[in-house]
């Protein structure tokens, strides 16, 4: 079973991992922090642009820097590799949890469903700390279950280590999510196990050892101000009163179903099935997964700051419920399983695949608006093949549904989703992304005109993190027009990266025109490289 999970997960998370340019500011920021860590030796206190960076604990930066040291440079590939490997690890741990809560089949189906859920797939291909957090919180859930519910004391110190690594991934939330879930689960369970003091001490001791191995040196070097910034300002204050990414409490009611597609269509049935089977089968595992899912969704719904990726640790719980349901269906006589539960959603998905195939062919024929074509491959032949594959996938899924073979339907849905995700990221998303944000081409043009020792500034509103990463050097920024003018008035030859809008405003104010050395359209804005002298 692990071999099948790896065969499904490795291509999903590793194919073309480094092909997409680093443009998204968060990815660029974390990659730059890892680069400064590797080049400057800032292994205890992360730095960005020569300044302390207390926003996040260092586990992601350590991982990127260590992997990048094998190639001597932080690249798109090495920056995202920790997340990709963590995603594979989450799938394997989910399989083990499912096997312990339900059965080996349920664990396998849960792991495969998790790997092919849309939000989990995309998160595993980004240089963000959330997948590492998900890996270690999921591992903590597994260890806590083995320790408390399965009465295996040896898992107590393992739980402490996993909770510690989760804390080093993204702060105290790594401790809060699993412990809150366990507390909720123990409340709803009639037969609560007793915790022995020695085992609890082992768990707390290994947790403290793991976290303090970094926090104590960090506090020693950074002082109380660093502790306040990393533990309070960027954790507690961000949760209680967010200053960015604010959204209403019901945000995740729409975000989570969209992110968990296509398996969202089967999650309500898994919840209903557990209620229907109550009193007839053992449901302790079902209750644990429900508490896990509900606790995380409620925890982040209370916070004013919300982003789709925050609820990533809830995905394994939802996958466990879906995997358990498909496993239960597969063990029943298909004639006695309500067609509405699995056949109707599968039928709707097959119709959706055919509708998508028709839309692709219409776009290839020029019958759709230009904006719609941005969601399709650039080459007409590739669009034709995408349409054919979608139509075949819809037919395959419909055939399995009509045959009323539950596992055949699951396999068809899994295969269609797996192919769709890989083709989308390889043929559609990455080429279109790089075409819209050609930051590498512009960075190469700047490097060709500006020697390493010559003064270079980023002037005005720009994605400075992305240009710094792709240039491979730290470039100071200037925001005010007066600062830019003083910089351009230097007697020596200096260079400046700015937008065409800023350039025209400077020319108008100074009644002079500066020579343009390079020009590139990026995200519907024209970026220029200028010099103050010919």
At 398, the pLDDT band (50, 70, 90 cuts) reads low
Residues 426 and 507 in one domain: no
Query: What angle in degrees, to the nearest 10, is found between the helix axes of 284-302 and 251-259?
Result: 130
The contacts of residue 326 (CB under 8 Å, 6+ apart) are: 106, 109, 113, 266, 342, 406, 407, 410
Residues 130 and 226 in one domain: yes
Residues 363 and 388 in one domain: yes
Residues 161 and 150 in one domain: yes
Angstrom distance (rounded) from CA 446 to CA 429: 26
Residue where one domain finishes, among candidates 401, 436, 471: 436
Of the listed ranges 62-71, 175-184, 362-371, 466-475, the least confidently predicted one is 362-371
Residues 223 and 288 in one domain: yes
Quick check: 269 pLDDT over 70?
A: yes
At 230, the pLDDT band (50, 70, 90 cuts) reads confident
- The domain tally of the chain equals 3
Angstrom distance (rounded) from CA 474 to CA 36: 10
Give me the domain span that covers residue 461. Answer: 439-531
Residues 387 and 513 in one domain: no
Residues 421 and 455 in one domain: no
Residues 292 and 341 in one domain: no
Residues 113 and 248 in one domain: yes
Tell which residue, 66, 76, 62, 67, has the closest CA to residue 24.
Answer: 76
Residues 342 and 325 in one domain: no
- pLDDT, tens only, 57-78: 999 999 999 999 999 899 999 9
For the chain, the average pLDDT equals: 87
Angstrom distance (rounded) from CA 158 to CA 141: 11
- pLDDT, tens only, 340-361: 566 667 666 776 666 766 666 5
How are beta strands 477-478 and 516-522 bridged, if at all? unpaired
Among 42-46, 242-246, 376-380, 398-402, the range of highest mean pLDDT: 42-46
Residue where one domain finishes, among candidates 392, 420, 436: 436
pLDDT, average across residues 124-152: 95
- Predicted local confidence at residue 228, as pLDDT: 79
The DSSP letter of residue 281 is B
Tell which residue, 181, 4, 214, 206, has the closest CA to residue 91.
Answer: 4
Burial level of 470, CB count in 10 A (0-12/13-18/19+)? buried
**C-alpha dist (Å) from residue 180 to 142, 288, 291, 293, 294:** 14, 12, 9, 11, 11
Residues 326 and 368 in one domain: no
| Locus of tokens 């007066």 | 482
CB atoms within 10 A of CB 6: 13
- pLDDT, tens only, 78-111: 999 999 999 999 999 999 999 999 999 999 999 9
Residue where one domain finishes, among candidates 274, 305, 330: 330
């Amino acid at each position: 079973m692990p071999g099948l999970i790896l065969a499904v997960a490795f291509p999903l998370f590793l194919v073309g991992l480094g092909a997409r340019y680093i443009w998204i500011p968060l990815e660029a920021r974390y990659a730059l922090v890892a680069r400064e860590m590797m080049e400057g030796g800032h292994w205890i206190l992360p730095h960005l642009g020569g300044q302390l960076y207390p926003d996040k604990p260092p586990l992601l930066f350590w991982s990127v820097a260590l992997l990048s040291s094998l190639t001597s440079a932080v690249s798109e590939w090495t920056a995202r590799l920790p997340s990709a490997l963590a995603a594979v690890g989450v799938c394997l741990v989910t399989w083990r949890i499912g096997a312990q809560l339900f059965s080996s089949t349920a664990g396998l189906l849960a792991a495969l469903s998790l790997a092919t859920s849309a939000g989990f797939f995309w998160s595993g291909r980004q240089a963000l700390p959330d997948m590492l957090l998900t890996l270690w919180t999921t591992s903590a859930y597994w260890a806590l279950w083995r320790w408390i519910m399965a009465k295996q004391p040896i898992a107590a110190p393992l739980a402490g280590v996993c909770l510690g690594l989760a804390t080093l991934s993204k702060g105290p939330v790594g401790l809060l999510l699993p412990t809150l879930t366990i507390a909720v689960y123990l409340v709803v369970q009639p037969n609560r196990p007793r915790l022995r003091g020695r085992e609890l001490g082992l768990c707390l001791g290994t947790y403290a050892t793991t976290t303090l191995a970094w926090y104590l040196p960090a506090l020693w070097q950074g002082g109380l101000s660093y502790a306040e910034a990393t533990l309070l300002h960027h954790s507690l204050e961000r949760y209680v009163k967010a200053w960015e990414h604010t959204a209403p409490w019901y945000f995740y009611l729409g975000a989570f179903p969209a992110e968990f597609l296509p398996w969202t269509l089967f999650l309500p049935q898994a919840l209903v099935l557990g209620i229907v089977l109550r009193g007839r089968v053992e449901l302790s595992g079902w209750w644990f997964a429900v508490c896990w899912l509900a606790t995380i969704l409620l925890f982040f719904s209370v916070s004013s700051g919300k982003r789709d990726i925050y609820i990533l640790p809830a995905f394994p719980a939802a996958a466990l419920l879906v995997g358990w349901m498909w496993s239960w269906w597969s063990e029943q006589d298909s004639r006695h399983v309500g067609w509405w539960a699995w056949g109707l959603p599968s039928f709707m998905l097959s119709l959706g695949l055919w509708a998508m195939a028709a839309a692709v062919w219409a776009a290839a024929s020029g019958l759709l608006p230009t904006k719609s074509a941005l969601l399709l491959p650039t080459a007409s032949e590739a669009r034709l093949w995408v349409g054919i594959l979608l139509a075949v996938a819809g037919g395959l899924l419909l055939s399995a549904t009509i045959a009323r073979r539950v596992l055949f339907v699951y396999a068809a849905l899994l295969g269609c989703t797996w192919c769709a995700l890989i083709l989308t990221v390889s043929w559609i998303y990455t080429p279109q992304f790089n075409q819209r944000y050609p930051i590498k081409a512009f960075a190469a043009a700047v490097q060709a005109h500006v020697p390493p020792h010559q003064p270079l500034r980023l002037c005005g509103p720009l994605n400075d993190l992305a240009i710094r990463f792709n240039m491979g050097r730290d470039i100071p920024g200037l925001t005010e027009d007066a600062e830019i003018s003083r910089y351009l008035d230097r007697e020596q030859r200096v260079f400046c990266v700015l937008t065409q809008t800023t350039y025209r405003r400077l020319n108008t104010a100074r009644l002079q025109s500066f020579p343009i050395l390079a020009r590139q359209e990026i995200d519907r804005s024209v970026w220029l490289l200028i010099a103050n002298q010919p």
